[in-house]
Every structure is written in structure tokens, then in C-alpha cells.
Amino acid sequence: MSISHVTTHILDTAAGKPAAGVAVELYARDGEAWSQIGTGTTDADGRVKDLGPERLESGSYRLQFATGAYFAGIGQETFFPEVSLTFTVNENESHYHVPLLLSPFAFSTYRGS
């Protein structure tokens, strides 16, 4: 298995554990539109390592997380049916890790390593 240029990790901070089974989509900005370039689902550790291409060109990208379906699956109400994170990639950087810290009524992110 190869590791994509962008990876992610979701921690359910309310439950204190990784968020497994969350669908994640990776999009690239194409002018004014967005084109899907990868998909994945978080594993038992809340990670997606094979989300898209091994190398990306410099530009704007978006991660879309299906958080509503995740919370519905664990019987938890949520305010956020989805979370969308837009960020910039520099093709000269070797890797981007974009974690999501998630609870039913809040989320946070940062550039990981």
C-alpha cells in the first residue's frame, strides 16, 4: 500500500477514541470548480493513508468528511452533517497530514506531521 501525499486522522474527542468508518473525499480546485481525486474510509485507528495520489501539484485542496453518517451510526445527534477543510499544498513538501478533532457540536484541525 502506498501512502498518499495527503493523509488524515479523525479522533472523536467526545468518546475519547478514533473515529472509525468515516467516509472521506479529497478534492482539487479546478478553476472555480472542485474535482474529486480520491476517496477513503477511516480504519479502526481513525486513519486514511491511501486517500489519493502519492504526489499532488501545488494548489488548493479540500477534504470532505461524512461526519453526520458517522454520528448516526453510533446513535449520536450532531450539529455538523459534514465537515469540509480547505487547505493549500506546495508540491515541494513531501507530505501533508490533516487531522480532524471531532465532537458532536465542535471540530478543530491543524497541520500534522
| Residue 9: C-alpha distances to residues 20, 30, 33, 54, 100 (Å) | 10, 25, 26, 17, 6
Asked if residue 70 belongs to a known ligand binding site, the reply is: no
Answer yes or no: are the C-beta atoms of 104 and 75 closer than 8 Å. no
Residues in the chain: 113
Asked if residue 5 belongs to a known ligand binding site, the reply is: no
- Binding positions for substrate: 9, 47, 110
- Binding positions: 9, 47, 110
